Amino acid sequence: MKLARLCAAAGLDCGGSDAEVTGFAIDNRKVAPGTVFGAFQGTQVNGEDFIPAAIEAGAIAVVARPEATVEGAVHIAEPEPRRAFARLASRYFTPVPEHIVAVTGTNGKTSTVEMTRQIWRMTGERAASIGTLGVTTPDESVSTGLTTPDIVTFLSNLSGLAREGVTHVAYEASSHGLSQFRNEGIPVEAAAFTNFSRDHLDYHADMEDYFAAKMRLFDEVVSDGATAVVWMGSGESGWNARVVDHAGKRGLTVMTVGEQGSDIRLTSRAPTQLGQVLTVEHDGQERKITLPLIGAYQVSNALCAAGLALATGTSASGVWDAVSRLQPVRGRLERAVISPSGAPVYIDYAHTPDALEAAIAALRPHVTGRLITVFGAGGDRDHGKRAPMGEAAAKASDVVIVTDDNPRGETAADIRAAVLEGAPRAREIGGRREAIKAAIAEAGAEDIVLVAGKGHETGQIIGSGENMRVLPFDDVEVARECAAEIAGERA
């Protein structure tokens, strides 16, 4: 495809160059002859420093700020080069699946995109999801390493999925992804907002800045006339109402969901041993739905997923039938094993104060004895969330064990100390395996063990930069191994 044609379609100036475009890259090491290179200022390095190397490798055009120096290739000069690059690349990676929806919010994105994909699949569509768990298609699941992949990976995946016949895609729009324009230029038919609470304040200046990043989804990314599915629970903070305002100002169709929702209203929720029975009002009809998952938080995600599927034209009967057949999401309240004494051990991905509170609240109705919570906080991430995570765990658990969770470039003991500030009576066991084993060994028949923070992850990240190592570590497997060891030791 000719550069001039792509530029014209994207409304960009490339001086009428008739060079042939063969691909796009944001990393000079991935440039081949005919590539358009995006040179962006990053958090670690300035991508503009790699422009000469990119041109040397065959880049025919560079999208960069006007003040950048580009010699030997077309300079597509834009004050916001990431946005312009996305616009241009999205004209190249076509076609994309017909129905694309996005999910944002602090917690619940992965669960919601997974459930949306499941609902579509159960109603006969060829569906995929893109997010923390990778790119999941009807045939396979492949990790991208990020929740919202970089723009080139994202767009090339979308067009690849369309070529495979996938018609429906749900993707996670993380705040990093939104602020770095990693998902742009494609028609997004609907977007959901789950909830908003503290996270990522190492990257965003404050909560307003973090919220503004998320609002780009509704203000700019979704298509004109798209549907905004907004969770409206019983005790919502003001953030969700502000999302409704953003959507209204943009002229979107607003669908509110939850106890205070007006489009999908949750009127009752009764936990059972293996799930919960919901009463939901939708389109003038009251329905009783058996959700085969535990936890109030999964109800929010399931109903947001239902809203997204409805917004893409899936029939109401198909959607509600599918909700009653949803499968658990990997690492989200996943029951790994029953301890030798009979205590269930759950693995959950809670890594914010709000998520820990939600995960503990999910298990509380099922505990007759003690709730034993094992968790830690990630290194090189928001320091300010650590003590509040400690507080959230201490407030609602009977026993708390603070351990390690991806210390990355930090000293693990310092991270634990910061968490312990919020949970002074908690026990401290650095090694995650030892901590899990201690919790399982201590649990009695009436107790429940919650191991939070790593969910589906399969490694413990230690060190950073050149010294980074990922040691194999899967909470589900480790919990099973520990339970077997304890059983063996007791035999």
Residues contributing to the site for ligand UAG (CB under 6 A)? 26-29, 40, 42-45, 47, 50, 132, 146-148, 150, 174, 176-177, 180, 203
Going from the C-alpha of 20 to that of each of 16, 33, 283, the distances in angstroms are 12, 10, 51
Closest approach, Cβ 56 to ligand UAG, in A, equals: 13
Q: Which is nearer to ligand ATP, 168 or 332 (CB)?
A: 332
**Helix (H) or strand (E) segment spanning residue 303:** helix 296-311
Closest approach, Cβ 468 to ligand API, in A, equals: 13
Residues forming beta bridges with residue 141, ordered by sequence position: 136
Would you call 176 helix, strand, or coil by DSSP? Answer: helix
The per-residue DSSP string of 404-446 comes to: -S--BTS-HHHHHHHHHHH-TTSEE--SHHHHHHHHHHH--TT
Would you call 243 helix, strand, or coil by DSSP? Answer: helix
Among 38, 108, 275, 376, binds ligand ATP (CB under 6 A): 108
Instruction: Tell me which residue has its CB nearest to ligand ATP.
Output: 108
Q: Which does 442 bind (CB under 5 to 8 A by kind): ligand API, Mg ion, ligand UAG, none?
A: none
Helix residue ranges, H only, 34-150:
51-56, 81-92, 109-122
Q: What is the DSSP letter of 31?
A: -
**Is 198 marked as a binding-site residue?**
no
Closest approach, Cβ 275 to ligand ATP, in A, equals: 16
322, 287 contact by CB (below 8 A): no
CA angle 148, 128, 318 (to 5 degrees): 125
Residues in region 112-171 near ligand ATP by CB under 6 A:
132, 147
Binding flag, residue 104, Mg ion (CB under 5 A): no
Q: Which is nearer to ligand UAG, 180 or 339 (CB)?
A: 180
A 10 A CB-CB count for 1 gives 12
Q: Which does 404 bind (CB under 5 to 8 A by kind): ligand ATP, Mg ion, ligand UAG, none?
A: none
Token pair for 117: 């994909």
Among 297, 320, 346, 473, binds ligand ATP (CB under 6 A): 297
Binding flag, residue 175, ligand ATP (CB under 6 A): no
Q: Which is nearer to ligand ATP, 23 or 108 (CB)?
A: 108
Residue 73 and residue 88: Cα distance in Å, rounded?
16
Residue 478 and residue 491: Cα distance in Å, rounded?
20
Binding flag, residue 406, ligand ATP (CB under 6 A): no
Size of the site for ligand ATP (CB under 6 A): 23
Q: Which is nearer to ligand API, 377 or 400 (CB)?
A: 377
308, 116 contact by CB (below 8 A): yes
Binding flag, residue 179, ligand ATP (CB under 6 A): no
Binding flag, residue 180, ligand ATP (CB under 6 A): no
280, 289 contact by CB (below 8 A): yes
Looking at residue 139, its amino acid is D
Binding flag, residue 348, ligand ATP (CB under 6 A): yes
Q: Which residues bind ligand ATP (CB under 6 A)?
A: 105, 107-111, 132, 147, 172, 194-195, 297, 300-301, 332, 348-350, 354-355, 358-359, 455
Specify binding-site residues for meso-2,6-diaminopimelate. 381, 405-408, 453, 457
Q: Which residues bind Mg ion (CB under 5 A)?
A: 109-110, 132, 147
Specify binding-site residues. 105-111, 147-148, 174, 180, 182, 381, 405-408, 453, 457
